Amino acid sequence: MTADIHNWVQIGSLEDIPQEGARCVKNGDMTIAVFRTASDDVYALEDKCPHRNGPLSQGIVHDGCVTCPLHNWVISLETGTAQGADEGQTLAFPVRLEDGRVLIDLSYSHQAV
Amino acid sequence: MTKKKLVIVGNGMAPGRMLEHLFDKDKDAYDVTIFNAEPRVNYNRLMLSPVLSGEKTYEDIITHGDTWYAENGIRLHKSSRISEIDRTGKTVTSENGVTASYDKLVIATGSSPFIIPLPGKDLEGVLTYRDLDDVDRMLAAARGGGRAVVIGGGLLGLEAAAGLKQQGMDVTVLHLMPTLMERQLDPAAGFLLEEEFKSRGIDVLTRANSHEIVDDGTGKVKAIRLDDGTEIEASIVVMAVGIRPSADLARSAGLETNRGILVGDDMRTSDKDIFALGECVEHRGLCYGLVAPLYEMAEVIADNLLEGASEYTGSVTATKLKVTGVDLYSAGDFAEGEDREEIVLRDAAAGVYKRLVLKDNTIIGAVLYGETADGPWFFDLLKKETDVSEMRETLIFGQAYQGGAPLDPTVAVAALPDDAEICGCNGICKGKIVTAIKDKGLSDLDGVRAHTKASASCGTCTGLVEQLMQVTLGDAYNPAAVTPMCGCTHLGHDDVRRLIVSKELKSIPSVMQELEWTTSGGCAKCRPALNYYLVSDWPDEYADDYQSRFINERVHANIQKDGTYSVVPRMWGGMTSSDELRAIADVVDKFDIPAVKCTGGQRIDMLGVKKEDLPAVWEDLGKAGFVSGQAYAKGLRTVKTCVGSDWCRFGTQDSTGLGIKLEKFMWGSWTPAKLKLAVSGCPRNCSEATCKDIGIICVESGYEIHYAGAAGLEIQGTVVLGLVSSEEEVIEYVSALTQMYREQGRYLERIYKWAKRIGHDEIRSQIMDDADKRKAYFERFVFSQKFAQVDPWSERVSGKDKHEFNPMAVLQAEAAE
Ligand code: SRM
Ligand SMILES: Cc1cc2nc3c(=O)[nH]c(=O)nc-3n(C[C@H](O)[C@H](O)[C@H](O)COP(=O)(O)OP(=O)(O)OC[C@H]3O[C@@H](n4cnc5c(N)ncnc54)[C@H](O)[C@@H]3O)c2cc1C
Ligand code: SF4
Ligand code: FES
């Protein structure tokens, strides 16, 4: 329904995020974790583990996933789904990289509820 | 019939190829005129690097010599740069005053090197790398010797660096990104490349941000200064940081341009009589910097010049680095992603690394290092989007392995007759081994050796025996009795530790390469372990990889269930003072810290601190003299003490003082798992020393050193290591024991588990009985403490990792509902 509405917001540049690391973006009450992989792909997830709301931004980034710092669930950076036997999903935001600038599509935050 | 007039601006590789196609199809269709800003015929630009390195000469790389132009009736204006296109009158005019009229025009102006707008960029000795004149300038500079600084660790920069080195210059490559050629290579391959360059004596600085090129006072280059203040002397600076399509001419003629000259699939610009070709083009949003796509464009234009209807639909590109002795190939997209699978092959002995990225059973990316013969084959599968599910298992081994006999060796063993000999030394045949496995219920290699003697002598048949066990036992057989560290390797922790030392591996990527990790970047299990092993084994050389640390060790505080942190400063030996308590009280008030608690480790915990506040909290604590208590570390935690002989009526020694000395001596050290100490003043043991990793019980005659206790998940009383008579000895023995554990322990293995594995006798004999060994351990501990005893809090207060503690952006609250 909202598939065609995009709300791209520039949040900073690629250099702002450490490789294999993450930074946070505050969007009102919501915190969004923005991850950068070893190969410089950037992903954005709501900073809330589907297990017990652990801050995913604080986890270890590896293989296109992040391991939650609280109880080690492994969450896909691209889709926000828990891997392996665990079940759950956190909100994933589309990300675009343009000339080193990072943009995320916030229209997706509306689909959350 | 008069011939139509074709004019070409630029005489590079692309139009040369276009003319070959055109003449193949129709030699007489056009009267051709070419303008070239360079004073020469068409040559193979790709081969400039061999000219620079001295492996080829200019004559060797000419594509079309003067006679070719004469034979084909082409007018070539050398040294003639076109400065104007008159689209109404259909003419072009050069800077040196030559005008030519056209029916069809092809703009093929290529691209120009990007110059970083640094102070000093116009100094004499600042060069670019694009054409033969640049090569001549570099060769002239090389004759004068000195150091060349190459800015840019991409394809061009590295080729220039290798060439200049071969010409006898000292060379430094400065690269902004963490790994070389990051656009074409994944970090692992980039790392190998960096090592290769370093081994050739070329200095490589990654994450190097140039700040200024320094004038020697006469308008010439003297040095280059980086953002961090480092200055590198330089007699030339070569900028190879990228290229920019040369679209200005087209832009001033009113053609539609963006980054490059915009063309449709027919390669026409916004003027139907004008085509654009080569690197100056922007097609479907892409500008290319490699020849393969340009050649495809050339063919399309040749056909459309002859009223054809060819279309160019874009290209996927592959890159090879042309530095003699370096084999490197990359193609397509090699980013990680959940919908992607990767196949990695590492052959450390041969220096080979290969990685294929698959999506929906097709290859979408390939990186090959060390052995690139299969590059074109992979690239072909990639371009054709061939379904590779049938050959998945053997795909990475290359084309030679496709088809033919199945590779699974167990199939071959299963097919052997019962009387086939397996173990030559002992004359054991297959039937005997199979019977023994079944009848005696053997499940491991040692069992088979014990019962049959097979593989018990020279051992060359071990592989065969294992395959036989596999065939006989199926899934019940677990070939490696060692448990691998994680899914990324078949090696266990001990093997990895041993190999890190014996092969002198000093970084995570080199461990993964040399030990043939099966994933490209490891996982959350192996990375922290490798990081610890490297910190422990190379304390002075290894640069801690903080992204491989668990969050607590990364930010030096303990994460709590709600994402806040707890802060525990050291209180040496559990002693504190009114000043310290006041400082803590002030911090608690100032930062509105919701909970303060005495820990089980004799110190104070402030719980619920917001992450953003951490540096400010530490700053205030630091001013009061506090350092981090490392309550989060796989490292030295607390040293609990009791009041001892200072106050207690039973105290035999100064247990408090000794505890403080131990804590001050040992703080900061990283260990395989947490390490907790305690010193009790007498056997009443009020500091609970007999359930600690290392505990000291003071007695009249000296100090009893205990170790291997725990009181967590398992309750474990300590065992006695031995009795010593002075505080100095306690420090030496305890440090030596700790160092032995640091060098041998598996990551997350507490001292009691390590001791169970190694044996208490072994530990006692090395620490208590062998003074040389003990002293050597002690010295290694002291050495590593030189690098470990840096208070992480004060480091962060002074700005380290500051990005960790601030949000990257705060957006409007409006989108929050
Ligand atoms: C704060 C404290 C509890 C308290 O309020 O007193 C505490 C808190 C935690 N302990 Fe503990 N332990 C604390 C003393 C102990 C003690 C008592 C002691 O040291 O004398 C023990 C038993 C002794 C021992 O270690 O054998 C203890 C045995 C454990 C264990 C079990 C370890 C084991 O190998 O069996 C864990 C789990 C682990 O480490 O994997 C653990 C883990 C934890 C963690 C780190 C849980 C976690 O992973 O997040 C808790 C962190 C809370 C925080 O953020 O501060 N804590 N923990 C104590 C801090 C001591 C300090 O000043 O540094
Ligand atoms: C050192 C080096 C190594 C390379 N290695 C590789 C490699 O390994 N693989 C690969 O695929 N590619 C490689 N390339 C890139 C490849 O050479 C280029 O993609 C290719 O040469 C571009 O062809 P082109 O015809 O578009 O432009 P160019 O070959 O650059 O030709 C453009 C020509 O137009 C002239 N010109 C510009 N403006 C005007 C004007 N207004 N009037 C008249 N003339 C003008 C220029 O002087 C130049 O001679 C390399 C490039 C360099 C510099
Ligand atoms: S005992 Fe359990 S709940 Fe209490 S601090 Fe230790 S780990 Fe946390
Ligand atoms: S909250 Fe993430 S694993 Fe429990």
pLDDT, residue B464, reads 76
The residue among B472, B471, B469 whose CA lies nearest residue B480 is B469
Q: Quick check: CB of A35 below 6 Å from ligand 4?
A: no
Interface residue A87 vs chain B (CB under 8 A): no
Scan for tokens 């097979």, then name that residue: B454
Residues of B in contact with A7 (CB under 8 A): 815
Sign of dihedral through CA atoms B77, B80, B86, B89? negative
Delimiting residues of CATH 1.10.10.1100 domain(s) in chain B = 410-476
Delimiting residues of CATH 3.90.480.10 domain(s) in chain B = 552-628
Euclidean distance between CA atoms B200 and B778, whole angstroms: 37
Residue B810: partners with Cβ closer than 8 Å, 6 or more residues away: A25, A26
Interface residue A28 vs chain B (CB under 8 A): yes
Average pLDDT over residues B290-318: 90
* Beta pairing partners, A102: A12, A97
- Shortest-distance ligand to the CA of residue A70: 4
DSSP string, B88-117: TTTEEEETTS-EEE-SEEEE---EEE----
Please state the φ and ψ torsions of residue B812, each to the nearest 5 degrees: -60, 150
Cα B191 to ligand 3 centroid, rounded to whole Å? 42
Cα B805 to ligand 3 centroid, rounded to whole Å? 26
pLDDT, residue B482, reads 67
Using the predicted structure, report yes or no on whether residue A109 has a pLDDT greater than 60: no
pLDDT, residue B405, reads 44
Smallest CA–CA distance, residue B763 to chain A, in Å, is 34
Contact A64 B337 (CB under 8 A): yes
Please state the φ and ψ torsions of residue B76, each to the nearest 5 degrees: -110, 115
Contact A61 B523 (CB under 8 A): no
pLDDT > 90: what percent of chain B?
64
Cα A19 to ligand 4 centroid, rounded to whole Å? 23
Predicted confidence (pLDDT) per residue in B98-154, tens digit: 999 999 999 999 999 999 999 999 999 999 999 999 999 999 999 988 999 999 999
Structure tokens of B801? 């990792």
Using the predicted structure, report yes or no on whether residue B547 has a pLDDT greater than 50: yes
Euclidean distance between CA atoms B338 and A41, whole angstroms: 12
Using the predicted structure, report yes or no on whether residue A5 has a pLDDT greater than 70: no
Interface residue A96 vs chain B (CB under 8 A): no
CATH superfamily of B636-790: Sulfite Reductase Hemoprotein, domain 1 (3.30.413.10)
Smallest CA–CA distance, residue A93 to chain B, in Å, is 13
pLDDT, residue B412, reads 65
pLDDT > 70: what percent of chain B?
95
**CATH code of the region B327-401:** 3.30.390.30
A81 lies in which domain range? Answer: 22-105
Is residue B119 within 8 A of residue B142, CB to CB? The reply is no
Cα→Cα distances B687→B235, B602, B644, B715, Å: 66, 9, 10, 16
**CATH code of the region B410-476:** 1.10.10.1100
**Residue A2: inside a domain:** no
Please state the φ and ψ torsions of residue B522, each to the nearest 5 degrees: 75, -175
Residues of A in contact with B190 (CB under 8 A): none
Average pLDDT over residues B22-34: 94
Predicted confidence (pLDDT) per residue in B35-79, tens digit: 999 999 999 898 898 899 888 889 888 889 999 999 999 999 999
pLDDT, residue B556, reads 94
Cα→Cα distances B369→B156, B189, B485, Å: 18, 6, 26
Structure tokens of B563? 């994402």
Instruction: Please name the residue of chain A whose CA is at the shortest distance from the CA of residue B545.
Output: A20
Q: What share of chain B is helix, strand, coil (3-state, %, to 5)?
A: 35, 25, 40
DSSP string, B421-450: EEETTTTEEHHHHHHHHHHHT--SHHHHHH
pLDDT, residue A111, reads 45
B744 three-state secondary structure:
helix
Predicted confidence (pLDDT) per residue in B207-263, tens digit: 899 999 999 999 999 999 998 889 999 999 999 998 999 999 999 999 999 999 999
Count the domains in chain A. 1
Q: Quick check: CB of A25 below 6 Å from ligand 4?
A: no
Euclidean distance between CA atoms B395 and B384, whole angstroms: 16
A87 three-state secondary structure:
coil
**Least CB–CB distance from B527: residue in A24, A62, A81:** A62
For B115-241, CATH number out of 3.40.50.300, 3.40.50.1000, 3.20.20.70, 3.50.50.60 equals: 3.50.50.60
pLDDT, residue B807, reads 87
Predicted confidence (pLDDT) per residue in B679-713, tens digit: 999 999 999 999 999 999 999 999 999 999 999 88
Q: Which amino acid is at B399?
A: Q
Task: Name the pLDDT band for B557 (thresholds 50, 70, 90).
Answer: very high
Contact A16 B521 (CB under 8 A): no
Contact B547 A37 (CB under 8 A): no
Predicted confidence (pLDDT) per residue in B464-493, tens digit: 788 888 888 877 776 655 678 888 988 889
Is residue B282 within 8 A of residue B265, CB to CB? The reply is no
Euclidean distance between CA atoms B213 and B127, whole angstroms: 12
pLDDT, residue A72, reads 87
Return the minimum-mean-pLDDT range out of B383-392, B602-611, B804-813: B804-813
pLDDT, residue B407, reads 46
Euclidean distance between CA atoms B538 and B577, whole angstroms: 38
Residues of A in contact with B549 (CB under 8 A): 60
For B552-628, CATH number out of 3.20.20.70, 3.90.480.10, 3.50.4.10, 3.40.50.300 equals: 3.90.480.10
**Least CB–CB distance from B808: residue in A25, A30, A63:** A25
- B interface with A, Cβ–Cβ < 8 A, is 178, 182, 186-187, 334-340, 519-524, 527-528, 547-552, 554-555, 559, 561-563, 803, 807-817
Using the predicted structure, report yes or no on whether residue A4 has a pLDDT greater than 80: no
- Burial-class residue A16 by CB neighbours within 10 Å (0-12, 13-18, 19+): middle
DSSP string, B41-102: -EE-GGGHHHHHHTSS-GGGGEEE-HHHHHHTT-EEETT--EEEEETTTTEEEETTS-EEE-
pLDDT, residue B406, reads 42
**Residue A81: inside a domain:** yes
The residue among B430, B424, B395, B390 whose CA lies nearest residue B410 is B430
Delimiting residues of CATH 3.30.390.30 domain(s) in chain B = 327-401
Q: What ligand 2 atom has the least distance to the C-alpha of B320?
A: 8
Return the minimum-mean-pLDDT range out of B29-38, B356-365, B725-734: B356-365
Return the minimum-mean-pLDDT range out of B263-277, B420-434, B444-458: B444-458
Task: Name the pLDDT band for B275 (thresholds 50, 70, 90).
Answer: very high
- Calculate the average pLDDT of chain A: 87
Task: Name the pLDDT band for A100 (thresholds 50, 70, 90).
Answer: confident
Is residue A36 within 8 A of residue A19, CB to CB? The reply is yes
Residue nearest to atom 41 of ligand 1 (CA): B712
CB-defined site of ligand 1, < 6 Å: B 558, 560, 566, 568, 597, 599-601, 603, 605, 631, 637-638, 674, 676, 710-714, 750
Euclidean distance between CA atoms A2 and A111, whole angstroms: 8
Is residue B623 within 8 A of residue B578, CB to CB? The reply is no
pLDDT, residue B479, reads 62
Predicted confidence (pLDDT) per residue in B443-466, tens digit: 777 778 777 867 755 455 677 788
Interface residue A49 vs chain B (CB under 8 A): no
Scan for tokens 């005696």, then name that residue: B440
pLDDT, residue B805, reads 87
Predicted confidence (pLDDT) per residue in B616-629, tens digit: 999 999 999 999 99
CA torsion B656-B657-B661-B666 (nearest 10°) is: 0
Sign of dihedral through CA atoms B679, B683, B686, B689? positive
The residue among B378, B292, B265, B279 whose CA lies nearest residue B332 is B378
Within chain B, what is the greatest distance between any pair of CA atoms? Answer: 123
CATH number at residue A80: 2.102.10.10
Strand blocks (E) in B610-726: 636-641, 675-680, 694-699, 702-707, 710-711, 715-716, 719-724
Task: Name the pLDDT band for B428 (thresholds 50, 70, 90).
Answer: confident
Element housing B369 (H / E):
strand B362-369
Cα B712 to ligand 3 centroid, rounded to whole Å? 10
Q: Which fold, B4-111+245-305? A: FAD/NAD(P)-binding domain (3.50.50)
**Least CB–CB distance from B547: residue in A23, A61, A77:** A61
- Calculate the average pLDDT of chain B: 90
Task: Name the pLDDT band for B1 (thresholds 50, 70, 90).
Answer: low
Using the predicted structure, report yes or no on whether residue B404 has a pLDDT greater than 60: no
Average pLDDT over residues A61-89: 91
Interface residue A91 vs chain B (CB under 8 A): no
The more confident residue out of B195 and B696 is B696
Residues of A in contact with B551 (CB under 8 A): 58-60, 69
The more confident residue out of B458 and B636 is B636
